[in-house]
Chain A
């Protein structure tokens, strides 16, 4: 259904912008006279271009520069860049305190981002119904009808942000990770303030899992909604457990076979390639081994919870086992199960925060490691809230960035989101009279992935471009095509 069409009789329907997601995107449908869907696409219409304008900047500035990619998950970009910069300054292993502070920061970040997504953005669809009253289908409606739930959501997010502020100085865009470590120890009073609320946060996180599990299990119509079968890419620790900060890459095929496992992410270019298409600023990554037609995959909570062998914290592990039992031990491919998996991760974050706040290393003041070695390349990978995030930098002899490549989590889900949009268009729109409620089904499919469109658009100068000169009668007079490698064809 992605095919391009020359049929000028088709009617174009656009959802512009897609709402309750981060960033700007639009969905377009091309319909024939019988409302049959001929084409369905998710377009990313904003452009950021960080890969380009980071060039020429000093490497030590990068973790602070690139976090400005996003206001929701800046910590992920900050830490992925910091991990890359650690390599450039020759640091392989941080001090225990620095690593644990980074992990604590990251857990706070994932917690607040996931809470924001479910409670503020997606819960109106799941609580009120996909085609429910538009005027009420929003966070204000949730506050009116489910005040306790809404308040828990707001407080969960607030708690995650308090962790970020305690470690980085600000709730958004603070400073924390520097080359080889961290710039500030966690003060005892900061730690005590966080400890005071953690038990409540644990309870709220369990409630969030229970609610999402119930919504998904009891709504049979949700199971096949926007459902697609996909491969999964995620990070796991060396024992195969769910890992958000540092580990090896694991890819599982749609049928559950291992494509690769414990892969050192510094070799990511061997296993992942990116395609650029002319109608979106967002690139389309694929697993090299499977090719661009069959190699697209999903990342994020659904991929992580499906692919890991276990979760290291007990409550989240119990929740994971129930999740796996839902698919009889196989992969849960239901797109809307992203929400359920996301809340399992919230619970894992809450448990991990609890453990880290009680870990004596977290008070430490040994924050940085120095090395005399310098390298020209650094690759940092982290599991951001929305999935596996790659930051790759090459620096010159003067310490300035020569080249940067970012594969942002949402980019990895690009093909999958388009596939889900097509699945929904096929199932709900095709042949029907279009209503707002039906169009919201398309947005719900995209929303399940929690895309951050502003994070993911950096294909400056790489996008293929087609220019057609057409005269007044509609006759094509001239045509020029610029390929993604820069070659021009007439």
Chain B
């Protein structure tokens, strides 16, 4: 017997064990998100995918779809909250979009455009964060890290290496490298690992590549974030990097 949920009044079928996010993506319904990737177990940390389910707010990426759920996704109230969350992500780090190699390929930037973000609203934190360029082919620029843990989970679940972790709490939360020196060069990460390519914001990048893709040809120059089928894009990105 088929089961379905209602997302903004649209009937969406789902299979057992699917989350609301899974069902929405399968039905081409966009729920803003940053820490979710279909290749990796959901985490529910960025809170951008918060929806209202039967009157209660919850992360759609970690909430199982249940028959008959009434889900509100694209409402003014939720999008306003998502905008605020996105603004906080920007001001908590050092996101210099104009000079960032990831610009145009950055999901945080694309989500900000989608939500109509025009400024950071809050005072900038300007945190002092360490760049780790010790690895011969991979660079970690913590200025851009939004603590989504995609790299942590990709390394653990997909690459089977456990290279990254989050240490500290609150303002002090930061991405660390599980190596004796704490440096990438002493970890076992390799250029072909998914963890080296999954970062949505350019905190982890392949070294010595700068702006090889011209303006107008980058991911979100060609398609809006709402059009992106995440799993398709992420896997194709990985396969192109593997070539």
B195 in the interface (beta carbon within 8 A): no
| A147-193 residues at the B interface, CB under 8 angstroms | 168-170, 173-176, 178-179, 183-184
Verify A56–B131 contact, CB threshold 8 A.
yes
Nearest A residue to B216 via CB reads A169
A310 in the interface (beta carbon within 8 A): no
* Residues of A contacting B99 in the complex (Cβ-Cβ under 8 angstroms): 61, 64-65, 68
- Kindly name the residue among B99, B210, B217 whose own CB sees the greatest number of chain A CB atoms within 10 A: B210
Q: What's the minimum C-beta distance from B145 to chain A, rounded to whole angstroms?
A: 16
| B156-189 residues at the A interface, CB under 8 angstroms | none
* Residues of B contacting A57 in the complex (Cβ-Cβ under 8 angstroms): 131
Verify A178–B212 contact, CB threshold 8 A.
yes
Verify B208–A60 contact, CB threshold 8 A.
yes
Verify A63–B133 contact, CB threshold 8 A.
no
* Residues of B contacting A89 in the complex (Cβ-Cβ under 8 angstroms): 208
CB within 8 Å for A178 and B211 given contacts A61-B99, A68-B98, A173-B98: yes
In the assembled complex, the Cα of A57 lies from the Cα of B210 at a distance in Å of 12
A257 in the interface (beta carbon within 8 A): no
Interface range on chain B: under 10, 10 to 19, 20 to 34, or 35 or more?
10 to 19
Verify A400–B133 contact, CB threshold 8 A.
yes
| A49-67 residues at the B interface, CB under 8 angstroms | 56-58, 60-61, 63-65
Nearest A residue to B213 via CB reads A183
CB within 8 Å for A61 and B101 given contacts A179-B208, A400-B133: yes
* Residues of B contacting A144 in the complex (Cβ-Cβ under 8 angstroms): none
Q: What's the minimum C-beta distance from A382 to chain B, rounded to whole angstroms?
A: 19
* Residues of A contacting B217 in the complex (Cβ-Cβ under 8 angstroms): 184
Contact of A58 among B98, B139, B212, B216 (CB under 8 A): B139
Verify B211–A400 contact, CB threshold 8 A.
no
Verify A179–B210 contact, CB threshold 8 A.
yes
- Chain A's interface: helix, strand, loop or mixed, by majority? loop
Verify B207–A175 contact, CB threshold 8 A.
no
Verify B208–A399 contact, CB threshold 8 A.
yes
In the assembled complex, the Cα of A68 lies from the Cα of B214 at a distance in Å of 17
| B37-95 residues at the A interface, CB under 8 angstroms | none
* Residues of A contacting B211 in the complex (Cβ-Cβ under 8 angstroms): 63-64, 175, 178, 183
Nearest B residue to A89 via CB reads B208
A433 in the interface (beta carbon within 8 A): no
Nearest B residue to A177 via CB reads B211
* Residues of B contacting A168 in the complex (Cβ-Cβ under 8 angstroms): 215
Q: What's the minimum C-beta distance from A230 to chain B, rounded to whole angstroms?
A: 36
Contact of A169 among B133, B139, B215 (CB under 8 A): B215
In the assembled complex, the Cα of A173 lies from the Cα of B211 at a distance in Å of 12
* Residues of B contacting A169 in the complex (Cβ-Cβ under 8 angstroms): 214-216
In the assembled complex, the Cα of A68 lies from the Cα of B100 at a distance in Å of 12
Interface range on chain A: under 10, 10 to 19, 20 to 34, or 35 or more?
20 to 34
CB within 8 Å for A178 and B210 given contacts A65-B99, A400-B131, A400-B133: yes
- Kindly name the residue among B131, B211, B214 whose own CB sees the greatest number of chain A CB atoms within 10 A: B211
CB within 8 Å for A175 and B131 given contacts A60-B210, A61-B101: no
Verify A61–B133 contact, CB threshold 8 A.
no
* Residues of A contacting B207 in the complex (Cβ-Cβ under 8 angstroms): 58, 60, 399
A398 in the interface (beta carbon within 8 A): yes
- Hey, what's the 0/1 contact readout for B225-239 against A, CB within 8 Å counting as 1? 000000000000000
In the assembled complex, the Cα of A65 lies from the Cα of B217 at a distance in Å of 20
Nearest A residue to B207 via CB reads A399
Nearest B residue to A185 via CB reads B214
In the assembled complex, the Cα of A323 lies from the Cα of B205 at a distance in Å of 53
CB within 8 Å for A183 and B133 given contacts A58-B207, A61-B99, A68-B99: no
In the assembled complex, the Cα of A399 lies from the Cα of B140 at a distance in Å of 13
Contact of B210 among A56, A61, A400 (CB under 8 A): A61
Nearest A residue to B131 via CB reads A56
In the assembled complex, the Cα of A64 lies from the Cα of B98 at a distance in Å of 8
* Residues of A contacting B98 in the complex (Cβ-Cβ under 8 angstroms): 68, 173
Nearest B residue to A173 via CB reads B98
* Residues of A contacting B215 in the complex (Cβ-Cβ under 8 angstroms): 168-170, 174-175
In the assembled complex, the Cα of A179 lies from the Cα of B211 at a distance in Å of 10
| B123-141 residues at the A interface, CB under 8 angstroms | 131, 133-134, 139
- Hey, what's the 0/1 contact readout for A344-366 against B, CB within 8 Å counting as 1? 00000000000000000000000
Binding site for A on B (CB under 8 A): 98-99, 101, 131, 133-134, 139, 207-217
Binding site for B on A (CB under 8 A): 56-58, 60-61, 63-65, 68, 89, 168-170, 173-176, 178-179, 183-184, 398-400
Given A64-B211, A65-B99, A399-B207, 4 further pairs, Cβ under 8 A? A60-B209, A64-B101, A175-B214, A399-B133
> Which 6 interchain pairs have the tightest Cβ spacing?
A169-B215, A60-B210, A398-B133, A184-B214, A175-B211, A65-B99
